[in-house]
Amino acid sequence: MTTKEIKNEIQEALNNVPEAILKEVLDYLKSFKGKSNEDIQRTRNLSQILKEDSNLLRRLAE
C-alpha cells in the first residue's frame, strides 16, 4: 500500500469517526512528531503486548 493510499484510508476513517474522538486521534498522531524510529517501535511493541495480554492484566488488577 502506498503512502498516498494509506493517507486516503486514514481520511476516510476520520470521516466516519465520532466527532468526540477526533481530538484524541489528533493528539495521538501528534505524539509521534519528533520521536526517533526506535521510540516509535518501542511504543508499537508495548501497545502490542498490552493488546495481547489485556485479559491477563485485567486479572492481575483484580
Distance from C-alpha of 61 to C-alpha of 29, rounded to nearest angstrom = 29
For residue range 22-62, what is the model confidence (pLDDT) as tens digits?
999 999 889 889 999 999 899 889 888 888 888 887 788 88
pLDDT band at 12 (very low <50, low <70, confident <90, very high): very high
Comparing 58 with 11, the larger pLDDT belongs to 11
For position 57, what pLDDT does the model report? Answer: 75
Which whole number is the average pLDDT over 5-26? 92
Question: What pLDDT was estimated at residue 32?
Answer: 86
Q: According to the 3-state scheme, what is the secondary structure of the chain?
A: CCHHHHHHHHHHHHHCCCHHHHHHHHHHHHCCCCCCHHHHHHHHHHHHHHHHCHHHHHHHHC
Give the residue, 51 or 10, on which the prediction is more confident: 10
- Say how far residue 4 (Cα) sits from the centre of its chain: 19
